Structure 1
């Protein structure tokens, strides 16, 4: 019974992930969660700041007893009060603060989008490099199979004295060399799987079939990390404007209602039962030895610094996009070239193989031709998958969501 259940679910267990599934898994990792928490933190902080500008209601109560009663200080008594406070005007600090937080939230959201797109690009690169290596492994296995077939053939000839020992040893040496190369490829394949497991947080396997949709490149990059930096620049300008509020007055409204329950031993003394006080308050700093001026200039210098960095990164992003387009154009030419090379190498190999098996040429020429054929096969597959990576690079540098272009 257990065996039948295992047999039923084994195909699902062994089923690999395509590129779209790998990207879905990778976007659920801890790094993405970290960016989400950062955004949520800023939003909560913004809500807290907004709440601080709403009217505040405070209540208080106190009991007192004195050892020496006076007209203003009863022997004992209870005092309760409720007060409402509201900031009517603070030199535009409120509006600039709200604006800064809104831009900081947008910056955090764009940073999250940038991280998602970068991870998608990394996963796409691993995916297509894995498939290229897998094709290289298959070509290497076929090459080794051909070499072993020649080794058997030459061994039979050696047994009847039709060839020399060194001819056989050359083939054996070549088989050992290609086995080493095969192990190296297998290590590279395993390394990619480990890297994907690190990104996704799960054990993965890869199935082929995915590709990247063609994309018409734009003139200017709209990468999310550049957008995030742009919002950072605007937020820092708001931060500088906040410092200017020190030049302007702050006006607050206060209303306090108080009830008194005072007990006097001396009947000549008495107090009111309740009292309400409404006040309009203004505070205006007229001189502070340049404190406000220096605070503003400090924040404005930070704004200029961020702005310069933004302009630099924006120009660099546009250059990266142009280079990505150029790399894609070259990758298409490489596919065309690799196709022609494989056709030529295959044709040459068939001719040389026939001559070698008829004893017309030495095995050096045969081995070289065999290597050229399977190297050309590997190169073609690599060129095809590299073309997919180059398409992914263009989409990433354009600022589009790479996951939307996975097919």
Structure 2
């Protein structure tokens, strides 16, 4: 019986497939980038942050609009139960005064009787019973005591803070998609390992069958191979479950159809990253700093409550005949409002905002400490994963050599079928460990880049 041929060649092809070369820097698969873009567009959390930022942008426009004149058109109709007139004594006084003026004008003596032939003008009513009014009002803030300008600056920093929070959420979504994609690559790589192991078992089954026919092996050897095949089928079923779960995760994160996701062929690559590379301020830190500045301007806005405010008021009546004797047709005025004491409300509100500012400062310091810890942890994990990859590659070499040796011994009746299956299992485990090591490398790289604020996608 000739020794087993082809196993080593198949293994070399497999290793060339699942052991890609080291990639310098962060180079994401274009397909992965597309999935990330879809995920960012779909994320309700990210969209919610940007909608909040848009609201803050509207607050800025509201702050600016304080200095625009407000023009209001008014119209009304009122029906009174009666005309509004002077009382009888006042009307008599006005009538008698009118008579004195007329007598003086025509040259009659003061004590003479007023001639009935001379006309008298009736005393006008103060307000007619039917009132139709139509007017326009103009209100124009000339100086808000810096309250509007401080509100504008607070809204600007609030908008920037919310935008940075949106970017931070994008980083989280991107990390989730990258991890799910890499897990899918790990599962797909495990399938290749299982396929290679299945090829080995099929070759061994053929050899054992021929050996049994020639009296060189017992049916127990064939039963052991059948058991190994059943165990392999259980692993393949586990693969299918993991594959389906990851497809669902990616579908939920990106909204891409399950059919398209099933067509993906992701692969794990080993990344090489400079651990001493510069790092940028994280979006979370930027968001906290902008929020801190927003509260500082809020405190200034509250303090400006005690600065005098100046506004102009204008009014014009379109229907003059319906005005009362006391109503002007138009007027223009400038007013001053000066809040001298408000019962300590402004002081207490300002103190409350100052405490909010102090809280943001504490959060910034805590976040910087956590980022430094995350960078150190990611660097250690990355170095550990690199070392583990080197060790696993050596284990693969030894496992392959051991399998070839044990397989040759088995062909020459110097080893049992159990030894062959154990050696094959060692090869399978070593290849699984390599893919897991690649996965850990990529996780450490992604965490390191994210911690340093230089995760690009």
TM over 0.5: yes
- 161 and 394 in structure 1: CA distance in 2 versus 1, 3 angstrom threshold: same
Among candidates 276, 288, 307, match of residue 331 of structure 2: 276
Q: With structure 2 as the length reference, what TM-score do the two structures score?
A: 0.75
Q: Which of 446, 449, 452 is the aligned partner of 1:392?
A: 446
C-alpha distance in 1 between matches for 2:270 and 2:33:
10
SS in 2 for 1:18: helix
Question: Are 1:45 and 2:59 an aligned pair?
Answer: yes
- Residue 105 (structure 1) aligned with residue 163 (structure 2): no
The one-character-per-residue Cα deviations of 1:85-141 (angstroms, maximum 9, x if unpaired) are: 223333432122111110111112112222222222222222222222212211112
CA distance in 2, matches of 1:23, 1:55: 47
Q: Quote the residue 1:122 is aligned against.
A: 176
Q: Secondary structure at the match of 1:286?
A: coil
The reply to whether residue 172 of structure 1 matches residue 226 of structure 2 is: yes
Q: 1:213 to 1:360 in 2, by over 3 A?
A: closer
Pair 1:19 & 2:73 matched: no
- What is the total number of aligned residue pairs between the two structures? 383
Task: Decide whether the 8 Å contact of 2:185 with 2:267 is kept in 1.
Answer: no
Which deviates more, 98-107 or 232-241?
232-241
Q: CA deviation at 1:292?
A: 1.9
RMSD across aligned positions (CA)? 2.8
Decide which of 301, 309, 312 is 1:242's aligned counterpart. Answer: 301
What is the CA distance between 1:213 and its match in structure 2?
A: 7.1
Unpaired runs of at least 5, structure 2: 1-28, 86-124
How far, CA to CA, are the matches of 1:93 and 1:36 in structure 2?
Answer: 26
| Superposition deviation, residue 77 in structure 1 | 4.3
Residues 29-84 of structure 1, C-alpha deviation per residue, up to 9 Å, x if partnerless? 14243333333233223323322342212222334444133354344444433332
Range moving further from structure 2, 118-127 or 246-255: 246-255
- Does the residue aligned with 2:320 lie in a helix, a strand or coil? strand
State the match for 1:345 in structure 2.
Answer: 399
Q: Do the aligned partners of residues 207 and 18 (structure 1) sit closer, same or farther apart at CA in structure 2, a change above 3 Å counting?
A: farther
Residues 225-304 of structure 1: matches in 2 within 5 Å? 225-259=284-318, 261-262=320-321, 274-288=329-343, 290-304=344-358
**1:357 paired residue number:** 411
Residues 137 and 185 in structure 1, CA contact (< 8 A), matched pair in contact too: yes
Of structures 1 and 2, the larger Rg is shown by 2
The Cα of 1:299 is off from its aligned counterpart by 2.2
Tell me, yes or no, if the aligned pair for 1:18 and 1:209 is still in contact at 8 Å. Answer: no
TM-score normalised over the length of structure 1: 0.84
Q: Distance in 2 between matches of 1:65 and 1:402?
A: 72
Kept after mapping to 1: 8 A contact 2:382/2:444? yes
Partner of 1:206: 264
Offset at residue 391 of structure 1 (A): 2.3
Looking at structure 1, the residues matched to 310 and 178 of structure 2 have their Cα atoms a distance apart, in angstroms, of 58
